[in-house]
Amino acid sequence: MGRAMRLSIDVRLDYGISGDADVLLQIEAAAMADQKIESESLTIWSDSPIRAVRGEDGIGQRCWSRGHGRFTAEYKSIVAVSRERVQLELYPATPPRMLDGELTPYLMPSRYCPSDRFEGFVGREFGGLEGGPLAAALTEWVYQSLEYRCGSSSGETTALDTFASRSGVCRDYSHLLVSLARAGGIPARCVSAYAPGVDPPDFHAVAELWLAGDWRLIDATKMATCSDIARVCVGRDATDIAFMTVFGQAYLWEQRVTVTPLD
Amino acid sequence: MGRAMRLSIDVRLDYGISGDADVLLQIEAAAMADQKIESESLTIWSDSPIRAVRGEDGIGQRCWSRGHGRFTAEYKSIVAVSRERVQLELYPATPPRMLDGELTPYLMPSRYCPSDRFEGFVGREFGGLEGGPLAAALTEWVYQSLEYRCGSSSGETTALDTFASRSGVCRDYSHLLVSLARAGGIPARCVSAYAPGVDPPDFHAVAELWLAGDWRLIDATKMATCSDIARVCVGRDATDIAFMTVFGQAYLWEQRVTVTPLD
Amino acid sequence: MGRAMRLSIDVRLDYGISGDADVLLQIEAAAMADQKIESESLTIWSDSPIRAVRGEDGIGQRCWSRGHGRFTAEYKSIVAVSRERVQLELYPATPPRMLDGELTPYLMPSRYCPSDRFEGFVGREFGGLEGGPLAAALTEWVYQSLEYRCGSSSGETTALDTFASRSGVCRDYSHLLVSLARAGGIPARCVSAYAPGVDPPDFHAVAELWLAGDWRLIDATKMATCSDIARVCVGRDATDIAFMTVFGQAYLWEQRVTVTPLD
Amino acid sequence: MGRAMRLSIDVRLDYGISGDADVLLQIEAAAMADQKIESESLTIWSDSPIRAVRGEDGIGQRCWSRGHGRFTAEYKSIVAVSRERVQLELYPATPPRMLDGELTPYLMPSRYCPSDRFEGFVGREFGGLEGGPLAAALTEWVYQSLEYRCGSSSGETTALDTFASRSGVCRDYSHLLVSLARAGGIPARCVSAYAPGVDPPDFHAVAELWLAGDWRLIDATKMATCSDIARVCVGRDATDIAFMTVFGQAYLWEQRVTVTPLD
């Protein structure tokens, strides 16, 4: 079985808001079988009541709040991660038609993961593969083909852009792997996460592929391993897993994410 | 209360398939409180077993099948629709932060409904409005601003394209209304449906906006009224509500959709 | 006839370059009948020889150079602008088929000015107008419909994005006016320029529409008038009129543009 | 030296027009040093006078006309092509900063050839190459990587789409090669042409890369060789080289292109 790792997470967000705006935060590590929340506190400075709602697929939670002129939040937690190592090569393929209904959206193209455009590439370059061996080959291909470079992409960058620019940050690695997997008939979703090795320290984005009856966590950047990742939330792409969505205009003042392995 | 209408629905799909392909159909009218399925039959000619899975938001169902060289399906049903008239103007606004978690995705931009791009337009042109009055104004604006013209759009057309071209078919009206509503803070989803007045006869696409605690059915083309629409399924945009998704290559041979009011 | 205005222009660019890169500068005011260059100096710190080539449509010039680790350039000039006031309403329309061959590209869609998408909008909203009156109506519409907001767009923003966001900077105003004019059958090009009233001070972008046998200079932001604009270059859109194009990677260190009216 | 080939070209266009529309045709083979027009006739059925204007870069010509309800044109010619074989590998590289001014636009991204997006791919995959050897490698890569499949693309398809779908028609091969070449610092333009081996028979699109002081004709589909291609016109991408541009709405009735090698 996998080894356990305890992570200390410390986040501070400080934004300016034009007038008033509803703000949706998604920054709390999710309580799940393979990641226990030992302690946690979320503080939001706001005159309005804070309201938590469930995250996508029932994983984690989102927190609604309201900013006026300024929006400041702090999150601290200790999470114990205990997760088996993923061995992609061993998982057999499941044909799309045998998948459960809640997986259907993860076979479909989405805004930043236009997987339908990649069917030709996956078919030609990875033609004989399926299931776990395909997932392993795609993961390695993404890792080898991209260069990790801060500032090389923006919030509008799609997997199609990344496929040509051959560079990006964690978000782009996640989008491209998810797009290629879906194009190969494997359900895939994006995951917002915390991990200690992310450089520069920031929110992290990884992927989950549905193989052999479960979601398999993969970091195509190889900055994190599946044993030191604490999931925050999941979704179709960056739209769903954004750490903050402002229903109005906001400006970054300061943002800090610190993830430290304990003992 | 609304008047009841019975619809007879008759669909035939006939496609060529390159080799083998998993096929996902979404053509059955959904059993719901406001639309009763009096009788129904779905026939798919296939050597593989047919497998039904639930649709998005638990509405209706999708049917997995497999095509080999050819894919033919027939669907016949009688649906009794009984639905209150929607009076958009009367519904008060709900701020985004007060919405339930399962509505969050319907506030977000999606591939064909990039609602984040429309916040400026909605803010400037419909600035003082919110909730039902905003929904009514947006619906009327879409109806007045677009020209219904077959062939004026394609499967790749987004709401941004439609906003500039000022023309489209039902799919485009639905995408644009949904985009504008989300940009105005109203959860909105796309709906695949059957309706008798669609010209030329085809699958129909309409919209649902979440107002005053329920989904409100709106056809911005005005070809149908909410009392003669039978929903098939719902979703974020055309990606989710496609009547057929082929995991491979398919070619249209023949397709026929007939919807007749009974009395 | 128009009044004359003398402008003092002072520009400093300071960029970091990854390794070596060919750099194309387009920052010199163009010598033209309605703008005389009284004095000018361009200094580029580079080990490689500087090479000037003609600009698009034979207007102004581009300057090729090479950066190594750093790229610094300074440009100073005094330009006397003497230009008749543009009276758009008075110009009759010229049908596309009567235009000279060198104008054809300016009727066509381009990357940031996808004018073909706007034919529906222009046809429906400005249906009875053509030529100068159409140009005047489009200019006023762009001015009234957009909000000038720094940071509201990026180098990837197209006129389609601006049309929905209803905000932008000078580049976006220029792109949208040019797109609408072309959609209405009027040749239109983008113009890089210097003007004293630009706030914050920066390179400026305006438009030229071909009406009654000549190019008519228009600033849809109304920050400048046609009597105080010194053209640098022209082209189909921002691609052609960029002040600097680096064939490699560059990073902004410092950039300053000062334009002062003299006496 | 190259062998001579005589081509008989026979084109018929028959379109429906909604109301009246100005129509721009670009279907005449261009008179050039390496392709002599032995005989030619262009017939357009129209009440309006026909007007010829020069094509892009002074190559060939465009013909303005006007359609009313219907637009029919016939073009017949005999062209003698005599052109040296292109030997890409032999051409040395020219740095962008040494290129003449009229080549600058062909280094720049355009709507269907967003070459800036491909700099990462070209840099990583073809890093040590430049000039002719790079051109040869890119041409072979495009040929090997794409599948020629009618109907796999549309008029909106960009080189970015083709790069992921790995399929397309001649237009897409041309766009992708041109995009990659520009990303590698080689000026590249799209060429509309006639060639006898095109299957199914249609207008053809190829590419020209500027190497060792001249334009080098390349058909990345390998359906034609440089000795049996008759150029019609050139430009930045499909926008410039369209055989017909209608300033209004048109519907295809019938179109036929026949190119036959003589003796």
Residue A200: cis peptide before it, omega within 30 degrees of 0: yes
Q: Please check whether residue C40 is in contact with residue C77, taking contact to mean a CB–CB distance below 8 angstroms.
A: yes
Q: What is the pLDDT of residue A217?
A: 97
Q: What is the pLDDT of residue B47?
A: 82
> Which spans in chain C are helix H?
119-125, 131-145, 159-165, 170-183, 238-241
Mean pLDDT value across chain B: 95
Closest chain D residue by Cα to residue B161: D156
CA distance A242 to chain C (A): 20
pLDDT digits (tens, 9 = 90+) for C244-259: 999 988 999 999 999 9
Q: Determine the distance from the C-alpha atom of residue A251 to the mean position of all C-alpha atoms in its chain, rounded to a whole number.
A: 23
User: Any chain C CB within 8 A of the CB of B71?
Assistant: no
DSSP 8-state class, residue A239: H
Closest chain C residue by Cα to residue A156: C156
User: Any chain A CB within 8 A of the CB of B155?
Assistant: no
Cβ–Cβ below 8 Å for B118 and C164: yes
Say if residue D113's pLDDT is above 90: yes
pLDDT digits (tens, 9 = 90+) for B122-152: 999 999 999 999 999 999 999 999 999 999 9
Beta bridge partners of D81: D5, D35
pLDDT digits (tens, 9 = 90+) for C17-29: 998 999 999 999 9
Confidence category of residue B2, pLDDT binned at 50, 70, 90: low
Q: What is the DSSP pairing of strand B51-54 with strand B61-82?
A: antiparallel
> Which spans in chain B are helix H?
119-125, 131-145, 159-165, 170-183, 238-241
SS3 A119: helix
Q: What is the pLDDT of residue A86?
A: 87
Q: Taking residues A221-242, report their average pLDDT.
A: 96
Any idea which fold B88-241 has? C8orf32 fold (3.10.620)
Q: What percent of chain D has pLDDT over 90?
A: 92
Angstrom distance (rounded) from CA C55 to CA C60 = 5
Dihedral sign, CA of C119, B147, B161, A245? positive
Name the B residues in 78-117 with CB < 8 Å from any A CB: 95-102, 104-105, 107-111, 114
Which of A20, A62, A104 would you mutate first to test chain B, the one with the most B CBs within 10 A? A104
Q: What is the pLDDT of residue C1?
A: 44
User: Any chain B CB within 8 A of the CB of A124?
Assistant: no
Q: Which residues in chain B have their CB less than 8 angstroms from residue C167's CB?
A: 120
Mean pLDDT value across chain D: 95
User: Any chain B CB within 8 A of the CB of C58?
Assistant: no
Angstrom distance (rounded) from CA A8 to CA A78 = 5
SS3 D41: strand
Which of C138, C166, C182 would you mutate first to test chain B, the one with the most B CBs within 10 A? C166
Cβ–Cβ below 8 Å for A163 and D164: yes
pLDDT digits (tens, 9 = 90+) for D150-192: 999 999 999 999 999 999 999 999 999 999 999 999 999 999 9
Angstrom distance (rounded) from CA D66 to CA D247 = 9
Strands (E), chain B: 4-25, 35-45, 51-54, 61-82, 147-148, 167-168, 188-194, 204-211, 214-218, 230-235, 244-247, 250-262
pTM: 0.96
Residue ranges of domains in chain D: 5-82+243-261, 88-241
Q: Which residues in chain C have their CB less than 8 angstroms from residue A156's CB?
A: 154, 156
Confidence category of residue C47, pLDDT binned at 50, 70, 90: confident
User: Any chain C CB within 8 A of the CB of A156?
Assistant: yes
* DSSP line for A160-176: HHHHHH-EE-HHHHHHH
Q: Which residues in chain A have their CB less than 8 angstroms from residue C156's CB?
A: 154, 156
Token pair, residue B183, equals 């940009």
Name the A residues in 158-177 with CB < 8 Å from any D CB: 160-161, 163-167
pLDDT digits (tens, 9 = 90+) for B84-107: 888 999 999 999 999 999 999 999
Say if residue A2's pLDDT is above 70: no
Closest-CA residue to C26 (of C205, C160, C249):
C205
Confidence category of residue A42, pLDDT binned at 50, 70, 90: very high
Q: Which residues in chain A have their CB less than 8 angstroms from residue B53's CB?
A: 99-101, 104
Confidence category of residue A1, pLDDT binned at 50, 70, 90: very low
Q: Do A5-82+243-261 and A88-241 fold alike per CATH? A: no
Q: Which residues in chain C have their CB less than 8 angstroms from residue A153's CB?
A: none
Angstrom distance (rounded) from CA B53 to CA B63 = 6
CA distance D147 to chain A (A): 9
Angstrom distance (rounded) from CA B177 to CA D87 = 56
pLDDT digits (tens, 9 = 90+) for A145-178: 999 999 999 999 999 999 999 999 999 999 999 9
Residue B96: cis peptide before it, omega within 30 degrees of 0: no
Q: What is the pLDDT of residue B244?
A: 97
Confidence category of residue D84, pLDDT binned at 50, 70, 90: confident
- Domain C5-82+243-261 CATH class label: mainly beta
Closest chain B residue by Cα to residue A185: B247
Q: What is the pLDDT of residue A138?
A: 98
Mean pLDDT value across chain C: 95
Q: What is the DSSP pairing of strand B188-194 with strand B204-211?
A: antiparallel
Query: Scanning the structure block, which residue is given the tokens 């009406």?
Result: C211
Angle at D201 between CA D197 and CA D207, to 5 degrees: 60
Closest-CA residue to B192 (of B154, B234, B164, B163):
B234
Q: Please check whether residue D253 is in contact with residue D7, taking contact to mean a CB–CB distance below 8 angstroms.
A: no
Q: What is the pLDDT of residue C3?
A: 65
Angstrom distance (rounded) from CA C233 to CA C30 = 7
User: Any chain D CB within 8 A of the CB of B154?
Assistant: yes
Q: What is the pLDDT of residue A8?
A: 98
